Chain A
């Protein structure tokens, strides 16, 4: 990615972020004239967390998706396809509805533990350099297991409305999140992105094969551990605060790799930028669509990402013997 492209990406992100803060503008401008403190409350306590969470969540999904794809040497690997998001959702549901740890921090710890467990299970089931079919099957199995366990946890929850509550939350949304929730997600995502930044070059070398990476002095096992920990922390924190949003972690890295000459490690930052842009765009679409009601942002990202996923599966069909 050239410096010009990087600047353009930052400019586009800044524009989307500003639009996300200011749109729809009518009510906010009118309020600023009559009740400036209230307008400031709306801007800083409601719209800022919403826009910032979309940015952070998208960047985390993009970066961790690219890293996981590099780790498994497979373009179908992404936090949602591999069951990481489902694991995070299970962890957060257990923490909230069974253990009563429903503050932003408790949610996040639950989400992180669940995401980490799902990724570790994937690694154990599929192996470090899995075939597409194996990876997909393992991901489907983990997602199904996590989904069933989530349903069980909700069925055992004290409130009979837990299903409805959790379903709404798990569909993914940035609406009415608070600054403390933003702080928790930002901490998890920040540490995750910092950890992934240390692995960019190693992931590129790992793409050449474990033996090659080892001969250069890398430790593939350590790289795997760092990527898993970073993905679990980042995705877990974001899912705990905003619910599970699918396909951004798949779409962004696939496009980013095309920009970086298929170098999986170098695709981490472009994928983060693209993920953030996709998430901000999807949330803007949700907000401005003339439907009279708010759609979950996960619905929009799924509508964008599912066709690409189908295309990837069709492309890999000839290469994989099931």
Chain B
């Protein structure tokens, strides 16, 4: 019954007169890709998280467009030609998108730099902006080509001691900055482990650093001050949430900071 009511609501929206076309993104990470690849006049909506300065580096750009709650109903209200999301979408979502005359593009969660390049290209093809997509991919290729030969022992660090797996996408980006993410069991490090075996470089995420929580409280532990004996490079934590193309300038900045 609920599904029927939902489909009816979508059909009504589809039948309503108004502008058609354009792209709606339903996910923070696809927001990034759409904002980078699509032309400004194509974007019809982004997820509400993109409007938050604490979540997306491109928040100013994102605020030019209406925010949605990530649902197909919210996307349908914008009568898009293309809906972009990430992860998994059932057949129902594709059917609902078709009901409003939109194509649904579901990008996979990226696990490597190649996956990101593939997603950028797919958004480029779907929005008719192949050239813009290829320019981003070319920048990524350039960063890979110019990556430092050696890598310094490093640990990416966020609140509560969360860190990255050496096989993660984030670690692949770090490698481009000349940093080798250290392996930590469970991808979470204790202060004692940090103090007894400090990495050469700590890349410290500044994700929501101004907002106290039990996780950021960990970074303020009195013993954490001793961790500063390792060289600490602060990093914009927002860019690591999706580890997408907006990390590229951050990686180049880290590379320069490391060289100093």
A and B bound? yes
Q: A residues bordering B, Cβ < 8 Å?
A: 27-28, 31, 38, 41-42, 45-47, 96-97, 100, 102-103, 158-162, 165-166, 168-169, 175-176, 178-179, 292-294
Q: Do B191 and A176 touch (CB < 8 A)? A: yes
Q: Do B217 and A102 touch (CB < 8 A)? A: yes
What distance in Å separates the Cβ of B28 from its nearest Cβ neighbour in chain A? 8
CB-CB under 8 A for A38 and B55, given A168-B160, A176-B161, A293-B188: no
Q: Do A294 and B190 touch (CB < 8 A)? A: yes
What distance in Å separates the Cβ of A5 from its nearest Cβ neighbour in chain B? 35
Residues of chain B contacted by A159 (CB below 8 angstroms) = 54, 208, 211, 213
A122→B223 CA distance, assembly (Å): 41
A175→B160 CA distance, assembly (Å): 10
Q: Do B196 and A165 touch (CB < 8 A)? A: no
What distance in Å separates the Cβ of B242 from its nearest Cβ neighbour in chain A? 12
Residues of chain A contacted by B192 (CB below 8 angstroms) = 27, 42, 46-47, 176
For chain B, the bracket of interface size reads: 20 to 34
Q: B residues bordering A, Cβ < 8 Å?
A: 49, 54-55, 159-161, 185-186, 188, 190-192, 195-196, 208, 211-215, 217-218, 221-223, 226
A168→B188 CA distance, assembly (Å): 11
Q: Do A96 and B213 touch (CB < 8 A)? A: yes
Between-chain CB contacts (< 8 Å), 29 pairs: A27-B192, A27-B196, A41-B226, A45-B221, A45-B222, A46-B190, A46-B191, A46-B192, A96-B212, A96-B213, A96-B214, A97-B213, A158-B211, A159-B54, A159-B208, A159-B213, A160-B55, A161-B215, A165-B160, A165-B213, A165-B215, A168-B160, A176-B190, A176-B192, A176-B218, A176-B221, A292-B185, A293-B185, A293-B188
Closest 6 CB pairs of A and B: A293-B186, A102-B212, A292-B185, A293-B185, A45-B223, A165-B215
Residues of chain B contacted by A38 (CB below 8 angstroms) = 195-196, 226
What distance in Å separates the Cβ of B57 from its nearest Cβ neighbour in chain A? 16
8 new A-B contacts, CB < 8 A, other than A46-B223, A162-B213, A176-B223, are A27-B196, A28-B196, A38-B226, A42-B223, A96-B214, A159-B54, A160-B55, A178-B223
Residues of chain B contacted by A292 (CB below 8 angstroms) = 185-186
Q: How many A-B residue pairs have CB under 8 A?
A: 75
> Which partner residue on chain A sits nearest B184 by CB separation?
A293
What distance in Å separates the Cβ of B150 from its nearest Cβ neighbour in chain A? 27
A316→B195 CA distance, assembly (Å): 51
Residues of chain A contacted by B185 (CB below 8 angstroms) = 292-293
> Which partner residue on chain A sits nearest B55 by CB separation?
A160
Residues of chain B contacted by A175 (CB below 8 angstroms) = 190
Q: Do B49 and A178 touch (CB < 8 A)? A: no
Residues of chain B contacted by A97 (CB below 8 angstroms) = 213
From B159, B186, B215, B218, name the one whose CB has the most chain A CB atoms within 10 angstroms: B215
What distance in Å separates the Cβ of B201 from its nearest Cβ neighbour in chain A? 19
What distance in Å separates the Cβ of A21 from its nearest Cβ neighbour in chain B? 12
Q: Do B208 and A166 touch (CB < 8 A)? A: no
Residues of chain A contacted by B54 (CB below 8 angstroms) = 158-159
Q: Do B49 and A169 touch (CB < 8 A)? A: no
Residues of chain A contacted by B188 (CB below 8 angstroms) = 293-294
Residues of chain A contacted by B213 (CB below 8 angstroms) = 96-97, 102, 159, 162, 165
Q: Do A100 and B212 touch (CB < 8 A)? A: yes
Residue in contact with A179 in the complex, picked from B159, B160, B212, B222, CB distance below 8 Å:
B222
A38→B196 CA distance, assembly (Å): 8
A294→B212 CA distance, assembly (Å): 24
Residues of chain B contacted by A162 (CB below 8 angstroms) = 213
